[in-house]
Structures are given as C-alpha cells and as structure tokens.
C-alpha cells in the first residue's frame, strides 16, 4: 500500500551536518520526497507534536531539545512508508538500534537520536497536516 509519513531531522542531526546523510538513506530506499522544509519549532508547535508524551519524565528535555534549533521536515511517500521509515531509523535508543540504521550508526543518546518518523497511519495523517499545508505537497 502506498503511504505517506512525516519525517524530520532533529536539531542534533542538522547541527552535526547529517541532514544529507539521513535524507540520502531514505531516498536510496526508493521513497519519494513530496514535501521538504527547514523550520524552527515553537514551544506550542512542539507541545502539540509530542502531546502523547506530556507528563513523561523526559518530556521537558524533549521539548527543550526539539525547539533548540532548526529541523528539516519532510513528507515521504512509498510502499509501506511508515514501517519502512521506522526500520531505516532504528530503535528509539541508539544503544538498542541495529547497525545499518540511522540511530544505530549515528545516534548518540535517546535524547539525541537524530530523526523522527510517524509511528502509525493515524499519527502520519495528523503530523503531515500539522507540518504542511495541502499545497506544499507535490503531486
């Protein structure tokens, strides 16, 4: 099934000049970039994105990091894009992420794990609408 998913390179990835490396891995998998932009999340925008994590011990650090500098947000489209992206990213904690995944090869810590990808079809739909307007998505 062709799907769309929301991906972003987190501030640690942009700051470490890993944007091209990260996007390249997704492109080489065959998925298409149908939207792309650099932006800095406001606190309000980040709190909405990470709503599900509100109240968790790492929440305030997460919001602080994610708003600390620019991110590169994109919409990827392809066969099973949601699961494919999650596989290419690797597990949340770089210590658990397999070699060959972005987080396994390049991640430093759970707080500095370089990349976000939607975790379900419902999340993907909501996150794409949160980050992009309909006319920012390529045909």
Contact flags string 64-103 toward Mg ion, x per CB under 5 A: ----------------------------------------
Is 119 near Mg ion (CB under 5 A)?
yes
Q: Specify the residue, 57 or 139, whose C-beta has the smaller distance to ligand IDP.
A: 57
CB neighbours (10 Å) of residue 79?
12
Contact flags string 73-102 toward ligand IDP, x per CB under 6 A: -------------------x----------
Q: Mind giving me the DSSP string for 24-70?
A: HHHHHTTPEEEEEEEE---HHHHHHHTGGGTTSTTHHHHHHHHTSS-
Handedness of CA 93, 3, 72, 57 (dihedral sign): negative
Only segment of 15-23, 24-32, 111-119, 127-135 that touches ligand IDP (CB under 6 A):
111-119
Cα–Cα distance, 95 to 113 (Å, whole number): 10
**Nearest approach, Cβ of residue 76 and ligand IDP (Å):** 15
Cα–Cα distance, 26 to 22 (Å, whole number): 7
Q: Kindly identify the residues of this chain, within the stretch 118-137, that bind ligand IDP according to CB under 6 A.
A: 119
List contacts with ligand IDP (CB under 6 A).
53, 58, 62, 92, 110-111, 113, 116, 119
């Amino acid at each position: 099934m062709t799907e769309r998913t929301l991906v972003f390179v987190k501030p640690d990835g942009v700051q470490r000049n890993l944007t091209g490396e990260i996007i390249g891995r997704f492109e080489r998998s065959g998925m298409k970039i149908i939207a792309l932009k650099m932006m800095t999340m406001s606190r309000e925008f980040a709190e909405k994105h990470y709503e599900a994590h509100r109240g968790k011990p790492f929440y305030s650090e997460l919001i602080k990091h994610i708003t600390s500098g620019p991110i590169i947000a994109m919409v990827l489209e392809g066969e099973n894009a949601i699961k494919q992206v999650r596989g290419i990213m690797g597990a949340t904690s770089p210590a658990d992420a397999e070699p060959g995944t972005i987080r396994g090869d390049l991640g430093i810590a759970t707080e500095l794990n370089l990349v976000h990808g939607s975790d379900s079809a419902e999340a993907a739909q909501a996150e794409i609408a949160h980050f992009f307007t309909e006319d920012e998505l390529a045909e």
